[in-house]
Every structure is written in structure tokens, then in C-alpha cells.
Amino acid sequence: METARDVLTALARRYAFGDLEALIAGGTLVPDGRAKAVAPLCAFGQRVLDLDAEDFGMPEAVGEVPNDLLDRARASRMPQAPKERPRGALASLRPAYALLLEVIAIRWHRRDMAALVAAVHIASEYLPLLAWEPVLGHAGDPALIGASVNGEGSRFGVPIEPGSPRECDHTRPERSACERTLRVAKEPPPGWRAYLDRQHSQVAAALGDCAARCRTPCTVMTRLDDPVRADLVERCRLAADFTDSALVKLRHAAPVGHGFGVPSPEEVETAWARARRSLSHQPLGKAALDGPDADGYPLPGLPALFSAIASASIVPDTLLRDVTERIATTLG
């Protein structure tokens, strides 16, 4: 017969942090001392699983979270003020993509396909910045990006004069976002947060277009050495193809009745198989995805694909798994 502790431990190992926190809140299933230690771990785990990046690494209202876990989450945090330190995901997106890989795997094992597809969509939005990171030296930090995109001959964020020929392929929202990113570091925190919420992903898309799709490159690209530029173009093209892939398009399923269609695990597998075939048309994609399917990941080859785009090894994080281990140990 299962004890209450067995049930709670099983919930922790299923990453059901919200359910677990609700069950222990009354203090009847576990002693008060243990409940007070487990509750903040549950709140923290749920926040990370929900990809609530703006609050990563922040103290939880229900109690203290171990500092080592908070520090690991802060590596994927989006700074909420222009001068906030550390810079988190603006310094490097690699920790965030490692965490995304862990979250996607957890959502798969929980058969939570809507959340899985949402996480894949988030990953697709910022892939161009992951590709640009080795070139910029950061992950599109507005406080630093000007040095790489400003200067004579650059059309980055420059408005198109009425009646003049259109030489830049950026859309109007992308041009607006690019112009904003060059000055938002001097704005107060509310303006900074509004930019991150509404325009930072547009800057990612614009930089991706600069490398992968621009027909008349400006000095944003031409200032780069030929080998660096060729490598960046290849990685951004792969990122663009992923964004246009069947897997990401599941996020835009047509409305059904009064709700939205949620793909089944089989539909996700089929979409990923189609995406892999399409991505393999590019040499870089083929090299990344030609390995054996038995890499242990639910969407085989996805870590290798992100690694190829990043030009760095990215493997699934273990942050949430470590949270479950802390909870299980605390429960006794």
C-alpha cells in the first residue's frame, strides 16, 4: 500500500509541482517543517517549468529556495531593468536553450503537447540570436548591440524615406524594433520591459533575415570576415528553416469548435519527422540530424540541431530533475 510520502514523491518525479504544493499546503500530509521546505521548491519548479523567464531566480513568496538553484535559473533570466546584473539570457542564450530542451522533454513525458509546442515555438523565435551570439559576443543585449550594427552603410533600424527605393528586407515592425533596441537601454524599466515583451523577438527575426534572407546586404553583414559571414549565414538559414518547419507550425493549429486543436503525441512525432527531412536538405542540418535516432531525446536530434545553430554544444539541462531530487530528499 502506498503511503502519502510515496504519492507525493511520485508527483515530484512527474514534475507535478503545482499539484504537490497544493497537497502539502494544509500541512496534514507531511510535517510542518518539511512542508515549509518543500513548498518553495515546488513554487520554484513550477515557475521554471512554465518558462516564466522574467522571474527566474527571484525569491519565492512561500519560502527560501536554495541559492544554487536560484543561480542556475538566473542564467536563463531576462533582465527586467536596463542595468540589471547579471545579464542572464542577454549575455548568452545557451543556458536558456539547455533549459528549453529539458522542459520540452518533460512536457513530452507528461504528454502535455500544448505546452511542448509552445516551448518549441519560443525556441524558434530566438534561434537567430542563438546563431548570432558567437559573432556579437552576447545574445542581442540592447546595451551592447550598437557596436555590431551601427555605422556607415548600415540600414539596421533606419527608417525608409518616403519615395526612396526599399533596399532593406526588414518589415515595418522589424525596423521599428531594431530602432528601439538601439535606444531602449537608456529608457526606464517599464519601457525596457515593454520592449522585451513586444519587440525583442522581432529584433531576433530581423537579425536572422540579415544573415539568411537579405538580398542587398548592408554593413551589418559586409563588415564581417568572409569565413565568419559564411558560417553565420549557414546557421541562420538553418534557424529560419526550423522556424518554418512542420513542428513549429503546430503552434498555429486552426481553431476547432470553441477551443484550439491540441496535437497528439503521434502528430508531434510526425511533424518532427517531416521537419527533420526538410532540415536535412541543408548540409549543416544533415550533419546535425544524420546521427542515430537513439540519442535518448524524445524529439531525436533536436539537441544536435540547436548545437549546430549555436556553434556550441547544447544538451538538456538537469535543473528541474535536480529540483525533484531535492523535494524527494526533503520528503524523506
- At 106-121, the pLDDT tens digits run 999 999 999 999 999 9
Q: At a CB cut-off of 8 Å and minimum separation 6, what does 193 contact?
A: 54, 80
Phi–psi pair at 259, nearest 5 degrees? -130, -155
State the pLDDT at residue 96: 97
Q: What is the pLDDT of residues 48-89, one digit of tens each?
A: 999 987 777 777 766 789 999 999 999 999 999 999 999 999
Contact between 91 and 139 under an 8 Å Cβ cutoff? The reply is yes
Q: Among 36-45, 59-68, 131-140, 318-327, whose mean pLDDT is lowest? A: 59-68
The residue written with cell numbers 547579471 in the block is: 86
State the pLDDT at residue 291: 74
Q: What is the pLDDT of residues 136-193, one digit of tens each?
A: 999 999 999 999 999 999 999 998 777 677 789 899 999 999 999 999 999 999 999 9
State the pLDDT at residue 24: 83
State the pLDDT at residue 255: 44
Q: Degrees (nearest 5) of the Cα angle 77, 78, 81?
A: 125
The residue written with cell numbers 531602449 in the block is: 184
3-state SS of the chain: helix, strand, coil percent to 5? 60, 0, 35
